[in-house]
Amino acid sequence: MYRVRLFANRHARSFEWLYQRLEAVMVALDPLFAKIGYGRVEAPVALVERGVKGLLFDCRMCGQCVLSSTGMSCPMNCPKELRNGPCGGVRPGGYCEVKPWMRCVWVLAWEGAARMQGGDKIREVLPPVDRSLKGSSAWLRVSREKAAQLREAREAARTALARAFPGARANEPSAAPLADEPAAATGRETRR
């Protein structure tokens, strides 16, 4: 809905905050999703995502949500589906060239970005849309990638010592362990 979309854009800062919280929750749910199988949770999550984002942002389910880089103004509502800023045909007052009754999606995007903490992301050059992802859940894709990145970072920290001393590890694995340090060594309580 146009009016709701304008509301979401006016409150871009709040929605940015909300989105950060949502992402944290989704990332935390990664082990659960992995257990059930991402393929199985895809359909229900996409359904919820379609409903929520459809109401708030007139989401078109492109599958590669960039709302946080576009001032919470969905660029797929631009009749030309531009992902990197307004075209040269914006009408006086900031209205759309193709749909003169609608405010230009990208005029709103810059206004929204100015209200957001991470608004500078709007300056990043975005790639063309991957049309094969249409209809899939962007929430799941983002949280899954974030979770994988976190896992990778943890793994890297865990194995850095072993990698730095490969010879020692081959001869004497306990000299360069692939494990977290024991709680006693770090002074932290164990959770177990």
Partner 1 sequence: MSLADHSDIVRPYEEPPPGHVSGSRLERVLRSGRFAVTAELNPPDSADPADVFEAARPLGEVADAINATDASGANCHMSSIGISALLTRAGYGTVYQISCRDRNRIAIQGDVLGAAAMGVRNLLCLTGDGVAVGDQPGARPVFDFDSVSLLRTVRTMRDEGVFLSGRKITRPPRMFIGAAENPCIEPLDWRPDRLAKKVAAGADFIQTNYIFDMPRFERFMARVRDLGLHERVFILAGVGPLASAKAARWMRANVPGIHIPDEVIARMEGAARPGEEGKRLCIELIRQIRAVKGVAGVHVMAYRREHQVSEIILESGVLEGRKPRGRGRG
Q: How far is the CB of 121 from partner 1 (least distance, A)?
A: 12
Q: Which of the stretches 25-33, 77-85, 170-178, 184-192 binds partner 1 when contact is defined by CB under 8 A?
A: 77-85
Q: Helices 12-28 and 138-164 meet at what angle, rounded to 10?
A: 60
Backbone angles phi, psi at 173, to 5 degrees: -50, -35
Distance in Å, CB of 21 to partner 1, minimum: 29
Element (H, E) at 130: none
106 touching partner 1, by CB under 8 A: yes
Nearer to partner 1 by Cβ, of 126 and 168: the residue is 126
Question: What three-state secondary structure class fits 103?
Answer: strand
Among 21, 32, 35, 92, binds partner 1 (CB under 8 A): 92
Q: Using H for helix, E for strand and C for coil, what is the string for 42-68? A: HHHHHHHHHHHHHHHHCCCCCCCCCHH
Footprint of partner 1 (CB under 8 A): 79-94, 97-98, 104, 106-107, 110, 123, 125-129, 131
